[in-house]
Amino acid sequence: MESGKLALVGATMVIVVVGIVVGASFLTFPEASPLTKTTTDRDLLELGLEVPSNWEFEMSDNSTLSLSSLRGQVVLVDLMATWCSTCSTENGYLQTIADDMAGTVVVVSLTVDTSESPSMMALYKSSRGLSWAHGVDDTQFMNYFVITSIPSMVLIDSNGIFRYFHVGLWSDASISTRVTSIL
Q: Is residue 14 domain-shared with residue 47, that is, in the same domain?
A: no
State pLDDT tens for residues 72-116.
999 999 999 999 999 999 999 999 999 999 999 999 999 999 999
Helix (H) or strand (E) holding 109: strand 105-111
Cα 64 from Cα 138, distance rounded (Å) = 12
In this prediction the pTM is 0.78
CATH number at residue 123: 3.40.30.10
Total domain count, the chain:
2
- In the predicted model, is pLDDT for residue 157 greater than 90? yes
Is 37 domain-assigned? no
Does residue 28 have a pLDDT over 50? no
- Range with lowest mean pLDDT among 25-29, 118-122, 131-135, 175-179: 25-29
Would residue 36 count as lying in a domain? no
Could you tell me the CA-to-CA distances from 66 to 9, 57, 137 in Å, in that order?
60, 7, 12
Any idea what DSSP says for residue 161?
Answer: B
* Helix %, strand %, coil % of the chain (to 5): 40, 20, 40
Q: Let me know if residue 35 belongs to a domain.
A: no
pLDDT tens readout for residues 106-149: 999 999 999 999 999 999 999 999 999 999 998 999 999 888 89
Same domain, 178 and 96: yes
175 and 155 in one domain? yes
In a domain, 16, yes or no: yes
Structural domain harbouring 5: 1-30
